[in-house]
């Protein structure tokens, strides 16, 4: 039984330059770059007493919205084999980081998109897996872009509803499918 797609002909946009590349050009390396991970491993090798994550609050480097965007940009849409960046479901301007709070606004491709909750769940899972536990993640529908904006926002940010959704093997399988490409983070 084939399912009718919500948006059978979405607009696909060209990808933007990797924000991690922009950060390196500005002289600030990405926390998620292979170089940063190698530096961290070397540091632990030479200074084992530091251990991983044992630095003081002042020593911890905070993330920014560009790095969060790099984590999310290559997640695949559940209906189409296209990244959320190419569909402009996630945009760098719609990601905000303040202290330990990460707020991501997603923009559905159509106002009645039934996949918005699933996309939001994929974004949440990606960030919960990638970010340190000190960060609080909020996922919201961009205002005025979905007819059920309030209901979807409530569902995406209710801890018990998210946990119940992730206990559903079928939903978790779909989320895992969306996240298979998440490690690309802007790579060609």
Structural tokens at position 142: 């961009």
Q: Where are the alpha helices (DSSP H) in 62-168?
A: 65-72, 116-130, 149-156, 159-167
CA–CA distance, 77 with 83 (Å, rounded to integer): 6
| pLDDT by 10s per residue, the chain, length 188 | 445 556 655 666 566 665 554 444 444 555 444 454 444 444 444 444 444 444 445 456 689 999 999 999 999 999 888 999 999 999 999 999 999 999 999 999 899 988 999 999 999 999 999 999 999 999 999 999 999 999 999 999 999 999 999 999 999 999 999 999 887 755 54
Instruction: State the residue for tokens 């911890």.
Output: 60
pTM of this prediction exceeds 0.85: no
3-state helix, strand, coil in the chain (%, to 5): 40, 10, 50
Beta carbons of 89 and 108 less than 8 angstroms apart: yes
Return the CATH architecture of domain 64-184.
2-Layer Sandwich (3.30)
Domains in the chain: boundaries: 64-184
CA–CA distance, 65 with 145 (Å, rounded to integer): 21
Q: Helix crossing, 149-156 with 116-130: angle to 10°?
A: 30
């Amino acid at each position: 039984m084939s399912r009718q797609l919500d948006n059978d002909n979405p607009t696909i946009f060209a990808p933007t330059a990797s924000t991690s590349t922009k950060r390196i050009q500005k002289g600030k390396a990405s926390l998620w770059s292979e170089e940063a991970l190698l530096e961290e491993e070397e540091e632990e090798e030479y200074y084992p007493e530091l251990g991983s994550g044992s630095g003081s609050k002042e020593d911890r480097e905070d993330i920014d919205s560009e790095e969060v965007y790099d984590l999310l940009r290559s997640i695949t849409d559940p209906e189409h084999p296209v990244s959320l960046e190419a569909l402009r479901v996630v945009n760098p301007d719609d990601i905000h980081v303040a202290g330990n709070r990460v707020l991501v606004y997603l923009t559905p491709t159509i106002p009645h998109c039934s996949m918005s909750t699933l996309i939001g769940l994929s974004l949440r899972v990606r960030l919960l897996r990638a970010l340190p536990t000190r960060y609080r993640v909020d996922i919201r529908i961009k205002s005025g872009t979905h007819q059920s904006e309030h209901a979807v926002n409530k569902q995406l940010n209710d801890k018990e509803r998210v946990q119940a959704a992730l206990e559903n093997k079928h939903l978790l399988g779909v989320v895992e499918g969306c996240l298979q490409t998440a490690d690309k983070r802007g790579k060609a």
